[in-house]
Structure 1
Amino acid sequence: MLTAIVIDDELFAREELTELLQETGQVEVIAQASNAIEGLKQINNLKPEAVFVDIQMPQISGIELLGMLDPDTMPHVIFVTAFDQYAIQAFEDNAFDYLLKPVDPKRLDKSIQRLLKARQNKEALHTQAQIEALTPKRLQQVPCMGHNRIMIIPLQEIESAFSDLSGVHIQTAQQTATSQLTLKTLEEKTELLRCHRQYLINTQKIKEIKLLDNGLGEVITQSGQVVPISRRYLKPLKEELGIV
C-alpha cells in the first residue's frame, strides 16, 4: 500500500481527497496539512511515497514547496489544481501528473496506477527529472516556525543558518527560527554560502572577518552575531569576497 500526505488549504477539498484515496484500498493517508510549511514538516518527518498538493495556497504555493524539498529524498508529487483545462494541458504535455478539482475518482485511479508502476520500473527516474525541471531553482524566502508562529523570512533578512541536534535554524538580526529545510537545500537554492560544516552565511550581512590561529576564522555579522569559519571554508569564503 502506498503512503501519502495530502496538502491543501481548503478543509473540504483536503478531506474529500483523503476519503477518495482511502476508498481505493491502495493508499494510506498518513497525514494532512493545511499549508505548505506544515506539509514540508510532515514530508520530512514521515517520508511518504507520494504527496498530493494543491498548487494555489496562501504564502507558499505547491510549486514553491517543490523547490524546498531535498531532491535526494523527494517523494512522488501529484499536483491538485483548479486551473482550467488549457493550463492542465501544459502540465500534461510535460508528462507531469495532476488532479483537477473536483477530483474525479477515475482520474485519481490513473494517478495511483502510475505511482504503483513507478515502484517497479524506471518511470520513477523519468518523472523525477521532469519534476526537477519544473521546480524553482532559487528560493527567495525561507519558511520557519518559532514561538507558536509560522513565519516566512525573506532571504535578504537572513544573516546565517546553522544546524544542531534539534534541527536547522535561521538567524536574522531580530530572531532565531527553526526551518524544515536542510542546510544542503539552503546552500544549493539560496545565496547563503557555506563557511563551516554546520553553518551558512549571507555574505551581504558580513561586517567583519576575524582571522584566528590554526587557519580558523569568525564572521561578525551586521547585528553582532558570531559565526565560525572552519579551515576548509576560509579560503573559498575569502575568494568569494575578493580577498586574496
Structure 2
Amino acid sequence: MMRVAVIDDEPLARSGVTSRLAAHADIALAGEYGDGPSALAGITADAPDLVFIDVQMPGLSGLDVLAALPAHQRPMAILLTAFDGFAVRAFELQAIDYLLKPIDDERFAEALDRARRAWPYRGRDSMGAAAAEPNAPTVAEYATRFAIRLGRRRAFVNAGDVQWIEADGDYATLHVGDRTYLLRESLNRLSERLDPARFVRVHRSTIVRIDCVSELQPLSNRDAMLRLHDGTPLRASRTHIGTLLDRLRDHGRSMVE
C-alpha cells in the first residue's frame, strides 16, 4: 500500500486532496501538514512514499521542502500550484507531476496513476515491486544481443551498442552509431526483453539506453525533450517521465558508487 502525505497551508485544499485519496483502496494517508517546517520534519520521520505538496507556502515553500531533503530520502512528489511556471524546478526535484489549482478530477487520477507506475522503481518496497512484476525476466534472461536479417545473411548486434530504438509498425529500428538495423519484433515485446537498468521507454514509440542521455529539457505540456550524447533529439512523453527520472537518478548513483 502506498503511503501518501498531503502538504498545503490551505485546509480546504488539503481536504480536497485527502477526500480524493480516500476513494483509492491502495492508498494510506501518512499525514497532513499545513506548513513547510512541519512537513519537512514529518517527511523525515515518517518517510511517505508520495507527497502532494503545495508549491507556494509562507516561510518554507514546497520546493524548498523537497530541496532540503537528501535525494535518497526525497519521496515522489506531485506539486500543487495555481501557476503553470514551475516545470523546470519540478523536473530538477524529480517531481512525478504537478496539478494546477483548482484541481481537476481527471488530472488528479492521471497524476496518481503515474505515481503508482513509478513506485516499484523507487526501491522503498521491494516486496511490492516483486508483486507488481511477478513474471519479469531475471538479469540473466534479458537480451544481450539481437539477430538481424540482412538479405540472406544474419548479423548480430550487441544490446550494449544500441543507443536508442524506435517503433516501425510491427518492427523496431535499432540505432547503433550512424547505422540502423530493422528488427522483426514489436517495441512492446522488445521493452519486456531489455534490461530496465540499462534501457527505458520514454515514449510509446521510443526506447533509449539510459547512459546515452546527456540532457533533459522539460516542455510546457509536461513532456520533455531529451538529447543524447551524439546530439540526437528525442521526445519523452509525460506518461514516462517519472520512470525516466528514476532510472537517470539510479544510473547517476551507480556511477558515483
TM bucket normalised to smaller: 0.3 to 0.5
TM-score, normalising length from structure 2?
Answer: 0.45
When normalised by structure 1's length, the TM-score is 0.47
